[in-house]
Structure 1
Amino acid sequence: MVLKNLHRLSKLFQPVSVVPKNAEVKRHDITSKSQRLMLELGIIKQASPGCFHFLPLGVKSLEKLTSLVDEEMKKIGGQKIIFPTLTNAKLWEKTGRLETVSSELFQIKDRHDQSYILSPTHEEAASNLLASLSPISYKQLPLKLYQITSKYRDEMKPRFGLMRGKQFLMKDMYSFDTDIKTAKHTYDEICKSYDKIFRKIGIDFIKVVGSSGHMGGELSHEYQYKADVGEDKILTCTKCNYSANTEISGEEKCPNCGNNSVEIHLGIEVGHTFLLGEKYSKPLNATFLSKNGKLEVLQMGSYGLGLSRIMAAAIEVMSSEQEIRWPDILSPFSVIILPPKSGSKEEIHIQNSGLVESLYEKIETICNLKDNVLIDDRTNFTIGRRLLEAKRNGYPFIVALGKKILENPFLYEITNLKTNETIFLSENDLLNYLRNHLSSSSCDPDNK
């Protein structure tokens, strides 16, 4: 059996490197294990300080995360668009943000001496889009517009790899409602959708009350992963479970119940939501036609997920110093198959049988694993060496065709990185094992 387009490790562009030998990245610049592991394992490659090439494994993981986000946004009526990367600086002048955050902005001028901003976020652009239309009717509301694009921030000191860079991939959504009450309802609905996204990723997260900062507005929440390299301090009350960024509540006592018994953790912010009200829509004249036939100002919300940061933060939280670990749903490949070493008894035993390709095809048919199986066809190396490399790369399930394929009936060796167990199974049992142990969202055709 010969199948086309099999994923073979020998053909994968994965420039593995040892960071200390890389002249472009000095050891003291590697400030987190996720950054080091992704560089060493050929998932990303630094282009310049704060800017990275996403290589095939990194892109594949990001595509899975993007697909997860798209699915959840569709369920709540989100409509995907793309705003221009360049935003006219005059819009930021009107909202007052050009002056307050100018040091973080990449600003350029075109040949006509017009000033533009390389957008870190698109509140002004979204409001201006609505303002440029004939007044929309209240019947068209709420509107939930989102995009997934690269954003830019002139970081003074880029660090932690993808977690604080000059360019990053972000999902940003902008909601528009008739009044603050319905805007709050939309805000809660989108927050619940974010809750579902983080639950499906499967890493414990904390939703905390956050600071509105330069964004403004009357309500703000952050989604945080606990991590030693986190730059935020999170207060959690041991009595009422209230959580907040210490930027708004200090570190001494709970602002909700006054309890002095609080815990402080470091966190990585991976998502942020804002109920903005008229902060941007009013100065940019974004209005709608009400039931009474009057023009009224749109009430706005803004919601961000740092997709490239989520990927890096997940690796930071889950990995050891030497081996990368992925959430099942974000792993570039879910299963890797290790054929026998070339010239071995096992290789001769299955020669010309098409066994590896047949197994590949059968695994692809279960649990939506199409395009999620990889063959390590570097059979000049021993299975033991390839097994160690597969573990270091964090593929959740490693299937090896070792000595037990000489037995009758022959058995496959499967290693489950999550449970750290290795067992021997027949083909049918192997397929059932994968079906039972893969993340439920992978096996659920409706992705509920």
Structure 2
Amino acid sequence: MERLLRRWRSFSGPLLSRCPPSQPPLCRAYHHPPGRVKRLALSRFFQPQNLREDQVVGLESRVSELTCKSHRLMLQTGLIHPAGPGCYHYLPFTVRAMEKLIRMIDQEMQAIGGQKLDMPSLCSAKLWRATGRWQLMGKELFQLQDRHNKEYCLGPTHEEAITSLMASQKTLSYRQLPHLLYQVTRKFRDEPRPRFGLLRGREFYMKDMYTFDCSAEAAHQTYDLVCDAYGRLFDRLGLRFVRVQAAVGSIGGTMSHEFHLPLNIGEDTLTACSNCGFTANVETLDPKQPNCPVCQGKLAETKGVEVGHTFYLGTKYSSVFNTEFINAQGKPSLVEMGCYGLGVTRILAAAIEVLSTEECIRWPRLLAPYQVCLIPPKKGSKEEMAIEPMETLYDNIAEALPQLQGEILLDDRTHLTIGNRLKDAKKLGYPFVVIAGKRALEQPCHFEVWCQNTEEVVFLPKQGLLDLLRKVQVV
């Protein structure tokens, strides 16, 4: 046995000596020392920027399509990238902001009893023909056939699908109602003229909720409950909204309201009475009656972008699909329904349109993709020694303020000047930008802090900065 081992060692030694040295691990997007929190480094992010106007025009091919501020800024900063008419790639920063918005929507919907589900985007033509909407919506539907010649559409809305699902529950009792079922998913509409970026596209994200009650009175209570939740959501976002009387359109029902952000680029004209507070979309009013229908006061007009829509449907869909429950008398009865939509990607774009300057994005603070951007000095500059204190500051913030872990970004592109990186940071709209300049080398060390939402610039020591960031709320 020993002789065999000696022969093996003598044979394998030269082979082992020729083995290539072990390779260093692949470089990761997160640079951090062992035992420390992961540092998010901007240089590793997929975030293409097209900061020159001519580059942005080239992306969309026509200057006339860039008349919307949010559209131009989102292209410039690499938040979106065109994939086709009315369709966009949502890039990493946008996905982070959208995920935060969805978390807020989940909080508000679940606070009133909403239950989240997910329905197929492929909707059967059979269901849509049953309600007459296959013909009614016509070219607005993306229609297709499978290999078995079965017809479908890509769902722009899901009234038929959800009502059919509820109809399959044959033992539904009045004790189980109300049901508030919602989803956040992609929707599709074959817009004849997609424009304004995410404000009017052919593919978009929407939250749609469908409610089922045992009486008209209960359904109206649910209607008010959801409308109040919408109001709380926009208040949390810091967005001024207007709720107006609206037409039921192709959705149908007997009552409808729209939620708008007042914007000059809006495609809807809204009216409001200063005497009684009446508000409406002008399409619901008789053009021959210029005064308020409630008090005959004068109406003032504004433009708005629709970001939410609510409908009281009654039994419009439940009667088609025979969607029933067993009432208190033990007899079957049709459920009373409501439908409630929020444009997720439209809210993002409209918020940017409302809050931003012509040159720089401003987010609702809770939706900012990252709350803090740290900018160390340029390599080779007089302040280069402050690079290490800035990296240490990253770790200090993450350890002292756990709620900000994952919300801090280190702009490690130290081949660029502080000024160039600050310009990018202001354009992207981080609520707080922290710079290590000359005063970072002083004792005690002070950092330059740009508070973007208030447009203040202050110099703070590390503890002062931690105290400031401790107040930051995250979703």
TM-score, reference length from structure 2 = 0.89
Tell me the amino acid that sits aligned with residue 385 of structure 2.
I
Match runs of 1:151-300 below 5 Å: 151-249=187-285, 252-260=290-298, 262-300=299-337
Contact 1:364 1:372 (8 Å CA) reproduced: no
Give the gaps of 5 or more residues in structure 1.
none
Out of 409, 418, 442, the residue aligned to residue 374 of structure 1 is 409
Pairwise CA distance, 1:310: 0.3
Give the gaps of 5 or more residues in structure 2.
1-31
Alpha-carbon RMSD: 1.7
The CA distance in 2 between the partners of 1:44 and 1:342, in whole Å, is 31
Pair 1:363–1:376, CA change in 2 (3 A): farther
Instruction: Tell me the alpha carbon deviations over residues 258-279 of structure 1, each in whole angstroms, 9 at most, x when there is no partner.
Output: 102x221100000001010001
Pairwise CA distance, 1:240: 1.4
Q: How many pairs does the alignment contain?
A: 437
Instruction: Tell me the alpha carbon deviations over residues 50-71 of structure 1, each in whole angstroms, 9 at most, x when there is no partner.
Output: 0000000110110000111111
Contact 2:206 2:341 (8 Å CA) reproduced: yes
- Please name the residue that 2:385 is paired with: 348
Pairwise CA distance, 1:350: 5.4
The CA distance in 2 between the partners of 1:187 and 1:420, in whole Å, is 40
- Please name the residue that 2:358 is paired with: 321
Pair 1:353–1:331, CA change in 2 (3 A): closer
Pairwise CA distance, 1:16: 0.8
The CA distance in 2 between the partners of 1:292 and 1:84, in whole Å, is 36
Instruction: Tell me the alpha carbon deviations over residues 300-344 of structure 1, each in whole angstroms, 9 at most, x when there is no partner.
Output: 000000000000000111112211111101111111111122123
356-365 vs 23-32, which moves further: 356-365
Pairwise CA distance, 1:354: 4.7
- Please name the residue that 1:419 is paired with: 454
The CA distance in 1 between the partners of 2:397 and 2:382, in whole Å, is 21
Out of 408, 423, 444, the residue aligned to residue 388 of structure 1 is 423
What is the SS of the residue equivalent to 2:377? coil
- Please name the residue that 1:122 is paired with: 158
- Please name the residue that 1:338 is paired with: 375
Pairwise CA distance, 1:13: 0.6
Contact 1:19 1:39 (8 Å CA) reproduced: no
- Please name the residue that 1:7 is paired with: 40
Contact 2:397 2:404 (8 Å CA) reproduced: no
The CA distance in 2 between the partners of 1:301 and 1:135, in whole Å, is 21
- Please name the residue that 1:21 is paired with: 55
Tell me the amino acid that sits aligned with residue 207 of structure 2.
K
173-182 vs 20-29, which moves further: 20-29
Tell me the amino acid that sits aligned with residue 47 of structure 2.
Q
Contact 1:208 1:221 (8 Å CA) reproduced: yes
Identity of aligned residues (%): 45
Answering whether residue 458 of structure 2 is matched by residue 410 of structure 1, we say no
Contact 2:393 2:462 (8 Å CA) reproduced: no
TM-score, reference length from structure 1 = 0.94
Pairwise CA distance, 1:230: 0.3
- Please name the residue that 2:12 is paired with: none
Pair 1:24–1:422, CA change in 2 (3 A): closer
The CA distance in 1 between the partners of 2:137 and 2:148, in whole Å, is 24
The CA distance in 2 between the partners of 1:434 and 1:354, in whole Å, is 17
What is the SS of the residue equivalent to 2:361? coil
Pairwise CA distance, 1:5: 3.3
427-436 vs 48-57, which moves further: 427-436
Contact 2:109 2:229 (8 Å CA) reproduced: yes
